[in-house]
């Protein structure tokens, strides 16, 4: 029967509850082009004169889109089949209708589109007829043109659609088949690896070389580009590598000549890469150490003035005879701030910028390389084929004076190892042996991909053996960090735990003398013993802070949060490890944190040594104070000992949206900025800035996942 569209509503008995707006729009275009090919199934609705659709909800929405576009009238009559029966039977019909539908396979779609193209239609017409985008049709046609063995593998289900798309990133059958045969029986047959293998025989459109010369210059020189129809990112392949290399060489050589003339130096080496290490090694260049720049008379005078003023400030700060008062505290605070400023100025004056001596300019050169964005970048360091030596003139000034030819480094030597024997028993050359060694290593690496368990054992073994062995055959290493502080560092619970963990490790595998026997012995350990070695090695590899500054690694704050570390259980501030090392004002600030201004006022008149001892006792929970003050004191730690995790920055224009498949996007972890930002003064301790302002913008689900945990973190940190 025919029913006007405006008399149709979707039934609550329709079992399909999820929608995909993109798929619905494609169906809408198909219905508009061909009409409704299958009727809707309806029952009488509760509202008189209306009918409820129990099968065909997507078609109903598609017709609604056509009406919204104005292509059809709201009163257009729709072919429907009327069912009589209960609500249960209506749901059964809806469920059966959805279960029995069978979509075309990708291979069938490819052949169908190819048929209509052969009949004379173009891709735009085919796309319109079937309610698809032209890019979708082009992609299916590219798949239809795959080399026959690969298309047959797709049609028979031996490879997935995503793998077929990866092979179709090139239209050259010989390349497709070569890569297919290379990877078909390998664990490495993944879309990414297929594309990388294919792209290795061309230059990617996103490669720095391509970005440097630009598509216009490349195509103008006769270069060909192969488009990847299955990638949302520009992943085009530039097929004529010789043209790319020629254009890059011309452009970089011209820039190198210009820079060499402007700088007045002997050479600028252009390197068509993002790094120059290999070229430096190949050219056997020597790094040039510039002589220190002389300090001017004005700078020397200012340095003397700074030293004199710093001595005065030290006496003022350390004056034990001065009476404690608010004015005295303010005076000390100002003196400490001035001292810090003078230290910075002194460092700048004492280390002037080094300058290249005039007599060296003709003997040195610099490297011109590429950034990842395809920009030419001049590296700052100087190199020379000769060994440049510094000299001191009669006045004591250091200058660039002499230089000499470098000592010979040996040519193509003959290696001594037994492995380097040729078929006739004689030795092969060192350079050939080195090349064979790399190829042999690559064979081992490719084979190791298929045994993740062995790879994991070897990785843990290599990490655990880092501290005493260097002949492990891998660059995997867990070197000990260079701690910024050495000597008599106060020991506590954490240090004891680390020592006990070290003593508990099963070190029996270290007894054999050869690395082969040691690895065999290590593999014989049970999983718990291996896990203990991994945990200990990673734990003792952690760095204390970032470089030479006063900032922490943000990832340490995340690790501490995930581990729910109770810092007060492992570390308490004492006179030795903290209060003796900070000013009286800072001690009083700590008291204010836990007991307010009233508690700080009780100790305001105390001398610094007495105040430090009182703080040490109070924060250990050994002082007689109000219970709530004691509870806060035993939980308090300074900002520099906390694992405060900053809340992630969420862009204002980010909304929850369905992805391309109609599935909801993953929920963002709610770390709770207020919950995690405990009250603290980031400048309370020697200029430290807490945990360095961690920026946690990862979407991998790591972090605090609910408000309950966030509240517990806040209680722990504040």
Q: Do 710 and 569 have their domain in common?
A: yes
Say if 64 falls within a structural domain.
yes
Q: Look at strands 203-204 and 237-238 and give their pairing.
A: antiparallel
Say if 712 falls within a structural domain.
yes
**Residue 590's domain spans which residues?**
562-656+665-717
CB 8 within 8 A of CB 51: yes
Q: What is the dihedral of CA 35, 36, 38, 39, to 10 degrees?
A: -140
Which residues of 122-175 form beta strands (DSSP E)?
Answer: none
- Residue 125 in this model has a pLDDT that exceeds 50: yes
CA angle, 279 as apex, 247 and 241 as ends, to 5°?
Answer: 30
Tokens 């100002």 belong to residue: 334
- Residue 22 in this model has a pLDDT that exceeds 90: no
Q: Do 514 and 421 have their domain in common?
A: no
Say if 636 falls within a structural domain.
yes
The winner for highest mean pLDDT among 344-348, 435-439, 452-456, 611-615 is: 611-615
Region of poorest pLDDT, from 83-92, 568-577, 584-593: 83-92
Q: Do 509 and 609 have their domain in common?
A: no
Q: What is the pLDDT of residues 575-592, one digit of tens each?
A: 888 888 888 888 999 999
Q: What's the whole-model pTM score?
A: 0.36
Instruction: Decide which of 14 and 192 is more confident.
Output: 192
Q: How confident is the model at residue 701 (pLDDT cuts 50, 70, 90)?
A: very low
CA angle, 649 as apex, 645 and 652 as ends, to 5°?
Answer: 160
Q: Do 710 and 584 have their domain in common?
A: yes
Q: What value does the mean pLDDT of the chain take?
A: 74
The last residue of a domain, from among 99, 114, 141: 99
Q: Do 566 and 495 have their domain in common?
A: no
Side by side, the strands of the sheet bearing 8-10 are 2-4, 77-82, 40-44, 51-55, 8-10
- Residue 193 in this model has a pLDDT that exceeds 90: no
Q: What is the pLDDT of residues 394-412, one digit of tens each?
A: 555 555 555 544 444 444 5
Instruction: Specify the pLDDT at position 257.
Output: 92
Q: What is the pLDDT of residues 301-334, one digit of tens each?
A: 888 898 889 888 888 887 777 777 888 888 888 9
Instruction: Specify the pLDDT at position 202.
Output: 72
Say if 252 falls within a structural domain.
no
Q: What is the pLDDT of residues 258-297, one digit of tens each?
A: 999 999 998 999 988 887 876 777 788 888 877 766 778 8
Here the CATH number for the domain that contains residue 48 is 3.90.1530.30
Say if 589 falls within a structural domain.
yes
Say if 369 falls within a structural domain.
no
Q: Do 505 and 590 have their domain in common?
A: no
- Residue 95 in this model has a pLDDT that exceeds 80: no
Query: Among candidates 75, 80, 67, 66, which has minimal Cα distance to 2?
Result: 80
Structure-token pair, residue 433: 């042996």
Q: Do 575 and 670 have their domain in common?
A: yes
Structure-token pair, residue 172: 């050259």
- Residue 631 in this model has a pLDDT that exceeds 80: yes
Q: Do 576 and 478 have their domain in common?
A: no
Say if 174 falls within a structural domain.
no
Instruction: Decide which of 697 and 242 is more confident.
Output: 242
Q: What is the pLDDT of residues 140-182, one digit of tens each?
A: 888 888 888 888 888 888 888 888 888 888 777 877 887 888 7
Residue range 670-691: average pLDDT? Answer: 36
- Residue 15 in this model has a pLDDT that exceeds 50: no
Count of structural domains within the chain = 5
Task: Count other Cβ atoms within 10 Å, centred on residue 516.
Answer: 10
Rounded to whole angstroms, the Cα distance separating 672 from 460 reads 36
Length of the chain measured in residues: 718
CB 286 within 8 A of CB 406: yes
Q: Do 576 and 614 have their domain in common?
A: yes
Say if 552 falls within a structural domain.
no
The last residue of a domain, from among 308, 323, 350: 350
Instruction: Specify the pLDDT at position 270.
Output: 92
Instruction: Specify the pLDDT at position 252.
Output: 92
- Phi then psi for residue 616, to 5 deg, are -60, -40
Residue range 78-97: average pLDDT? Answer: 61
Instruction: Decide which of 192 and 669 is more confident.
Output: 192
Q: Do 433 and 478 have their domain in common?
A: no
- DSSP single-letter state for residue 45: -
Q: Do 600 and 495 have their domain in common?
A: no
- Residue 542 in this model has a pLDDT that exceeds 60: yes
Query: Among candidates 240, 258, 262, which has minimal Cα distance to 250?
Result: 258
Q: Do 465 and 524 have their domain in common?
A: yes
The winner for highest mean pLDDT among 190-199, 469-478, 552-561, 594-603 is: 594-603
CB 208 within 8 A of CB 374: yes
Region of poorest pLDDT, from 545-549, 640-644, 677-681: 677-681
């Amino acid at each position: 029967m025919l029913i006007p569209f405006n008399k149709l509503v979707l039934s609550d008995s329709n079992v399909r509850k999820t929608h995909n707006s993109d798929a619905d729009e494609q169906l809408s275009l198909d219905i508009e082009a061909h009409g409704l090919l299958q009727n809707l199934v309806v029952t009488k609705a509760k509202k008189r004169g209306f009918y409820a659709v129990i099968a065909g909800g997507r078609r109903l929405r598609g017709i609604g889109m056509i009406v919204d576009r104005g292509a059809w009238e709201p009163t257009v009559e729709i072919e429907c089949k009327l069912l009589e029966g209960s609500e249960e039977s209506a749901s059964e019909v809806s469920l059966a209708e959805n279960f029995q539908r069978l979509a075309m396979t990708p291979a069938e779609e490819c052949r169908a589109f190819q048929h209509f193209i052969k009949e004379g239609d173009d891709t735009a017409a085919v796309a319109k007829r079937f309610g698809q985008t032209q890019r979708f049709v082009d992609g299916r046609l590219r798949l239809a043109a795959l080399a026959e063995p690969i298309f047959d593998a797709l049609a028979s289900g031996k490879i997935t659609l995503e793998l077929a798309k990866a092979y179709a990133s090139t239209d050259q059958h010989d390349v497709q088949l070569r890569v297919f045969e290379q990877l078909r029986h390998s664990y490495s047959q993944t879309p990414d690896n297929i594309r990388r293998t294919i792209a290795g025989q061309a230059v990617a459109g996103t490669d720095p070389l391509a970005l440097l010369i630009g598509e216009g210059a490349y195509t103008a020189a006769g270069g060909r580009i192969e488009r990847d129809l299955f990638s949302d990112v520009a992943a085009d392949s530039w097929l004529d590598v010789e043209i790319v290399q020629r254009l890059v060489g011309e452009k970089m050589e011209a820039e190198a000549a210009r820079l060499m003339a402007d700088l007045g130096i002997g050479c600028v080496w252009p390197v068509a890469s993002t790094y120059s290490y290999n070229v430096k090694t190949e050219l056997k260049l020597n790094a040039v150490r510039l002589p220190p720049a002389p300090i001017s008379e004005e700078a020397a005078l200012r340095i003397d003035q700074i030293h004199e003023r710093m001595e005065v400030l030290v006496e003022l700060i350390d004056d034990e005879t001065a009476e404690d008062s608010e004015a005295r505290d303010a005076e000390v605070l100002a003196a400490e701030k001035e001292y810090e400023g003078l230290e910075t100025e002194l460092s700048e004056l004492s280390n002037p910028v080094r300058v290249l001596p005039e007599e060296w300019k003709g003997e040195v050169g610099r490297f011109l390389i590429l950034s990842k964005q395809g920009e030419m970048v001049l590296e700052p360091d100087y190199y020379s084929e000769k060994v440049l030596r510094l000299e001191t003139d009669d006045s004591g000034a250091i200058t660039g004076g002499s230089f000499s030819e470098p000592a010979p480094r040996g040519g193509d030597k003959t290696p001594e190892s037994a492995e380097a024997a040729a078929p006739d028993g004689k030795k092969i050359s060192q350079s050939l042996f080195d090349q064979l060694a790399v190829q042999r290593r690559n064979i081992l690496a490719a084979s190791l991909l298929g045994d993740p368990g062995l790879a994991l054992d070897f990785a843990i073994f290599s990490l655990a053996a880092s501290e005493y062995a260097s002949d492990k055959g891998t660059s995997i290493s867990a070197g000990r960090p260079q701690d910024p502080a050495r000597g008599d560092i106060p020991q506590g619970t954490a240090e004891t735990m680390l020592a006990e963990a070290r003593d508990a490790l099963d070190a029996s595998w270290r007894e054999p003398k050869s690395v082969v026997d040691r690895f065999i012995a290590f593999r014989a350990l049970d999983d718990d013993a291996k896990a203990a070695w991994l945990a200990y090695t990673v734990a003792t590899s952690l760095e204390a802070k970032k470089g030479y500054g006063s900032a922490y690694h943000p990832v340490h704050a995340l690790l501490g949060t995930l581990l729910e570390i109770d810092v007060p259980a492992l570390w308490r501030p004492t006179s030795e490890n903290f209060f003796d090392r900070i000013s009286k004002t800072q001690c009083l600030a700590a008291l204010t944190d836990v007991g307010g201004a009233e508690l700080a006022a009780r100790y305001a008149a105390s001398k610094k040594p007495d105040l430090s001892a009182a703080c040490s006792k109070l924060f250990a929970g050994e002082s007689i104070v109000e219970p709530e003050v004691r509870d806060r004191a035993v939980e308090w730690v300074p900002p520099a000992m906390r694992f405060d995790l900053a809340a992630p920055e969420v862009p204002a224009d980010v909304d929850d949206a369905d992805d391309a498949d109609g599935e909801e996007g993953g929920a963002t972890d709610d770390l709770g900025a207020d919950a995690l930002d405990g009250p603290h003064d980031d400048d309370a301790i020697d200029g430290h800035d807490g945990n360095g302002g961690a920026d946690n913008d990862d979407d991998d689900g790591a972090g605090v996942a609910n408000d309950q945990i966030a509240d517990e973190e806040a209680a722990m940190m504040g």
